């Protein structure tokens, strides 16, 4: 663990609090009422985390493939999950009952997210198929983003993009939706008019494979709007020539997008980062800092906290696990990290469980 030595205005300290085991890798986390957390895992399961550290997770529902997302809707006090089966499930966690199931995509759901008011669920999809001799992605075969009403299950919107679309996020006022893809393109739509209002294009998150494979790799793995919605954060991995290595730099960028003006306003400082795929962003409830986490290839950390205004690294730690999702608790004193460590490497061990993990970090901000 290390902190920025440049005299930041915000002081952050990180320490380990607790951890929970899950059957397989955790791709997504959600916080429900009373700081109850839920997880979506590789085995397709949707789980409620125990409230005590020695407890066991409780299985609530199951997808027919990887469960890629889980979201809490305060509008109807249910979970909505997404999976590589292309389906969305509405789940009553108290009754452990699936109350609605919708086939959202022909291909899998890369990521899903709930609107701030809990009334809409958005999901992104898209398969990387060769669209030309330069191996550029082919055009979509179905809408890359679909938005559904939580209360009725009715489709409210759908939007076009270039697949695969790996990330999706609502603005904090709930009026806009953003989605990022493999090629580093982020499109932002106005949900009231259904018109595209901004398009960000950055080549810094996309690599061209030369070693062990010739194809595009990387993309925008996570998006988060700033508290006032004037800017948007992007996270992923810097360009690499070896798709199998995951050795691009740990990367975030900040862009303004309002009023027809698109401009990069900040990015990770090369002196403060290492190498590895960054999979998740989480802005602190206080609105002054944000967390970024993922997988460490080379360097000193895989989970870090940055000053939202200056972009300075405030604190960081190597959690010794791959992190796919970071979520703050309600008051911002704990950072929940979903992922895994010790994934089985041999086929004979593939049925072994309990390599999924949720690690909780205690975070002090002053």
Domains belonging to the chain, first-starting first, are 2-365 (2.130.10.10)
Lookup: tokens for 251: 């990367």
**Tens digits of residue pLDDT in 105-152:** 999 999 999 999 999 999 999 999 999 999 999 999 999 999 999 999
For the chain, give the percent of residues with pLDDT over 70: 97
In eight-state DSSP terms, residue 49 is: P
More confident residue, 154 or 349: 154
Distance CA 109, CA 234 (A): 19
Give the pLDDT mean for 321-326.
98
Condensed to tens digits (0 to 9), the pLDDT of residues 10-69 reads 899 999 889 999 999 999 999 999 999 999 999 999 999 998 777 899 999 999 999 999
pLDDT at 1: 37
pLDDT, tens digit, 9 for 90 and up, residues 191-240: 999 999 999 999 999 998 787 778 899 999 999 999 999 999 999 999 88
Q: Provide the Cα torsion 80, 110, 170, 301; round to 10°.
A: 110
φ, ψ dihedrals at 82, nearest 5°: -130, 160
Average confidence score pLDDT of the chain = 94
């Amino acid at each position: 663990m290390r902190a920025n030595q440049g005299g930041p205005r915000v002081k952050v300290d990180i320490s380990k609090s607790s951890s929970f085991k899950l059957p397989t890798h955790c791709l997504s986390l959600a916080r429900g009422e009373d700081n109850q957390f839920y997880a979506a895992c590789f085995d397709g399961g949707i789980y409620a985390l125990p409230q005590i550290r020695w407890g066991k997770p409780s299985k609530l529902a199951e997808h027919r493939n990887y469960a890629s997302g889980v979201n809490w809707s305060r509008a109807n006090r249910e979970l909505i999950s997404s999976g590589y089966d292309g389906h969305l499930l509405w789940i009553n966690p108290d009754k452990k009952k699936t109350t609605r199931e919708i086939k959202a995509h022909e291909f899998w759901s890369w990521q899903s997210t709930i609107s701030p008011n809990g009334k809409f669920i958005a999901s992104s999809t898209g398969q990387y198929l060769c669209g030309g001799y330069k191996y550029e992605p082919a055009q979509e075969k179905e809408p890359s983003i679909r938005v559904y009403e939580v209360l009725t299950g009715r489709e409210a919107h759908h939007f076009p993009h270039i697949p695969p679309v790996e990330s999706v996020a609502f603005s904090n006022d709930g009026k806009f939706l953003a989605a990022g893809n493999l090629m580093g393109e982020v499109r932002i739509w106005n949900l009231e008019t259904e018109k595209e209002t901004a398009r960000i294009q950055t080549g810094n998150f996309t690599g061209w494979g030369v070693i062990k494979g010739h194809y595009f790799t990387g993309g925008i793995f996570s998006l988060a709007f700033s508290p006032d919605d004037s800017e948007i954060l992007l996270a992923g991995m810097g360009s690499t020539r070896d798709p199998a290595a995951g050795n691009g730099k740990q990367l975030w960028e900040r862009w303004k997008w309002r009023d027809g003006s698109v401009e990069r306003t900040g990015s990770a400082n090369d002196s403060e980062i290492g190498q590895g795929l960054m999979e998740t962003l989480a802005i602190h409830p206080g609105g002054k800092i944000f967390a970024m986490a993922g997988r460490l290839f080379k360097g000193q950390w895989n989970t870090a906290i940055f000053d939202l205004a200056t972009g300075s690294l405030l604190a960081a730690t190597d959690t010794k696990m791959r992190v796919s999702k970071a979520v703050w608790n309600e008051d911002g004193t704990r950072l929940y990290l979903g992922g895994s460590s010790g994934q089985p490497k041999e086929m004979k061990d593939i049925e072994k469980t309990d390599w999924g993990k949720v690690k909780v970090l205690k975070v002090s901000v002053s």
